[in-house]
Amino acid sequence: MIIFFDTQSLYYLPQYLPIEKELRKRNIEPTFIFYKSKYDNETQQIIDDLKLSFIWVNDQHEAIEIYEKNNADWVFFANTFSYLDRLHQTSKTAQIGHGIGPKSSYYKKSDQEMSVRFVEGKYRLERLQSMYPKSTFLDVGFCKLDPVFNNEKIDNEIKYTKIDPEKKTILYAPTFYPSSLELFPKNWPEDFKNYNILIKPHYFSISKSRYERHRCILKEWESFSNVYVAKAEDFSVIPFFDKADILISDASSVLFEFAVLDKPVIWCDFLKLRWSYRGIFKYRFKRRMDKDYGEYARIAVHAKKYSDVKELVQQQLRNPESLSSTRKLMAEKIAGKTDGKASVRIVNYILKNK
């Protein structure tokens, strides 16, 4: 059986790897298609460390030629693909969402119809099915979290030296836009000098030229002795989840993933918006966020401004169970089944429908 994982960005890997591992258990070795970028060296090191079968391409045109030439049975995607009509002449396609956050783009990804889209929970399944009645959706759960639910060894351990085991650890994981990153003070790690701080920015903040300002800020924060800032090779947030006692985030999928693990979350409501999203253009921000944004907000305590953050961190670490019942109640709606078998259900489906 010939299976490919279309890996246009490194941050798709955490969603693909549990499926790859399950395929290998069944003596099927899939191939990852990696797209060339300025982080090729880091990507190659990850490939070598994980012992992945791979092919490099420059663009989607080269990718489609590989899929056709190899007569692929299945090709997995975490986003859209320009040559789907052509690909469907020879292969079946599967879409895996690379996040479960509050952005409306989660649903719009199904504008391009694939053979099947694997989704998280009955609620998302029914909503997508009503929006795209001719498409095929299957509720399997969120396979990115399978390794955590199964207490598996984390493959890509964080390579840091600044963590003091006697201190609590804060994970700050802002998204790229709309983000709280630019509204944190330059010296904010000083306010949390009694904590370890892990900073896991979105991959776009590290890699996209338009977010150069983010990289300058991150470089300043990295100079503090209690801070570790993720690099491009730290492609997965899962090892950070493993180390963190509490998460600070904003409009990011990471916020929901961490909450599903029943750990406390600080949700930053203060966001740096472009002028085109402010004032009379505020409707653009609302359109970017999903209609469930408000309901999902119940799983976290909210910081209206940066000055609220420290007190909320202290409060939540003193009482980490304070929102536990709400997090558990929302877990199925956010992530679907949490039994660690999402990747098993995915592989069962593609083998049955080859």
Q: Which domains does the chain have, with CATH numbers?
A: 3-142+337-352 (3.40.50.2000), 169-335 (3.40.50.2000)
CB atoms within 10 A of CB 77: 24
Burial readout 296-313 (b: 16 or more C-beta within 10 A, e: otherwise): beebbbebeeeebbeebb
Distance of CA 83 to the CA centre of its chain: 25
Question: What is the DSSP code (8-state) at residue 176?
Answer: S
Q: What is the pLDDT of residue 281?
A: 44
Cα first-last separation, the chain: 8
The total of other beta-carbon atoms located within 10 Å of residue 166's CB is 6
Distances (CA, A) of 353 to 304, 331, 349: 49, 29, 6
- Give pLDDT tens digits along the chain (354 positions): 999 999 999 989 999 999 999 999 999 999 999 999 988 998 999 999 999 999 999 999 999 999 999 999 999 999 889 999 999 999 999 999 877 755 555 666 667 889 999 999 888 899 889 999 999 999 999 999 999 999 887 655 666 667 888 999 999 999 888 889 999 999 999 999 999 999 999 988 988 888 999 999 999 999 999 999 998 889 999 999 989 999 999 878 898 899 999 999 999 998 876 544 445 445 454 555 555 556 678 899 999 999 999 999 999 999 999 999 999 988 888 888 999 999 999 999 999 998
Within 8 A by CB and 6+ apart from 328, the residues are 262
